């Protein structure tokens, strides 16, 4: 199956993702992790896969995220890491996934993490399942039309002063790193629509589970949305291992 035009546009923009905030330079000790941004054609049109973290976790409890986590020894980082985590968290069979490209590395200074988003297409979509109920409460295929709908978009403010994009979709409030990445993806893919950026809602947003500011002090917990790992720093060549096509 040929790729949809929106996905081709996203891949073309892989080296220059239109993030609202400039990402600082990574440190040499940055901890490596990867997330899988899995697109597919669902019953309600094009969609993307999100998970909701389990409510009992000490960090990011109940918070939506892309499947992903820290690199394990022996992983083919970042692609192997993203696929392994998606299989563990959401039961995604890597054999049914076509990896297309990696987006630019994103350094999160508060938690000293280097996150590589891996873009993929679901060649063989299946019913989504919770892979590890200890970490994941549920898995959802969220229509891109719902994410782009201005009625589902707003910003959130955290007591620390953090203000960022958010989405109210699939009975979830998506915010933080995941929302920032989705915001950039919609723009790069040519799907973004004008929305009211003056609509700022305080956290916790009604309907959201317990939330923690990305990079807060408790982010060292292994159950964080982008788990950390004490591997050697990524001081080799660029992690772009899959050329856009």
Give the span between the Cα atoms of 141 and 137, in whole angstroms: 14
Q: Tell me if 228 is assigned to some domain.
A: no
Q: 153: Cβ–Cβ under 8 A, 6 or more apart, which residues?
A: 165, 166, 167, 168, 195, 196, 199
- Beta bridge partners, 119, equal 37, 101
Q: Tell me if 244 is assigned to some domain.
A: no
Buried b (16+ CB within 10 A) or exposed e, 9-18: ebbebbeebe
The pLDDT of residue 234: 30
Other CB atoms within 10 Å distance of the CB of residue 166: 27
Domain count, the chain: 1
pLDDT tier for residue 237 given thresholds of 50, 70 and 90? very low
Which range of 106-115, 148-157, 206-215, 226-235 scores highest in mean pLDDT? It is 148-157
pLDDT in tens, 140-166: 999 999 999 999 999 999 887 889 999
> What does the block give as tokens for 121?
């297409």
Q: Tell me if 55 is assigned to some domain.
A: yes
pLDDT tier for residue 243 given thresholds of 50, 70 and 90? very low
- Beta bridge partners, 169, equal 172
The pLDDT of residue 210: 40
The pTM is what?
0.80
pLDDT in tens, 67-121: 998 899 989 999 999 999 999 899 899 999 999 999 988 887 766 778 999 999 9
Q: Tell me if 45 is assigned to some domain.
A: yes
**CATH code, domain carrying 194:** 3.90.79.10
Whole-number average pLDDT of the chain: 79
Q: Which domain holds residue 134?
A: 5-220
């Amino acid at each position: 199956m040929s790729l949809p035009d929106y996905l081709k546009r996203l891949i073309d923009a892989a080296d220059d993702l239109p993030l609202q905030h400039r990402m600082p330079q990574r440190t040499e000790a940055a901890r490596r992790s990867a997330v899988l941004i899995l697109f597919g054609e669902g019953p309600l049109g094009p969609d993307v896969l999100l998970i909701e973290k389990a409510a009992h976790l000490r960090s990011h409890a109940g918070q939506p995220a892309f499947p992903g986590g820290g690199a394990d020894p022996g992983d083919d980082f970042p692609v192997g890491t993203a696929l392994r985590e998606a299989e563990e968290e959401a039961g995604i069979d890597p054999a049914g996934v076509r990896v297309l490209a990696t987006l630019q590395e994103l350094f999160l200074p508060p938690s000293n993490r280097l996150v590589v988003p891996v873009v993929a297409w679901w060649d063989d979509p299946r019913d989504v399942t919770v892979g590890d109920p200890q970490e994941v409460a549920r898995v959802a295929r969220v229509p891109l039309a719902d994410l782009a709908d201005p009625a589902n978009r707003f910003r959130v403010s955290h007591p620390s002063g953090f203000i960022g994009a958010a989405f109210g979709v699939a009975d979830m409030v998506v915010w933080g790193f995941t929302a920032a990445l989705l915001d950039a993806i919609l723009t790069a893919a040519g799907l973004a629509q004008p929305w009211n950026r003056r609509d700022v809602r305080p956290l916790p947003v009604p309907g959201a589970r317990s939330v923690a500011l990305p990079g807060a002090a408790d982010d060292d917990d292994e159950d964080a949305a982008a788990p950390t790992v004490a591997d050697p720093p990524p001081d080799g060549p660029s992690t772009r291992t899959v050329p856009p096509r």
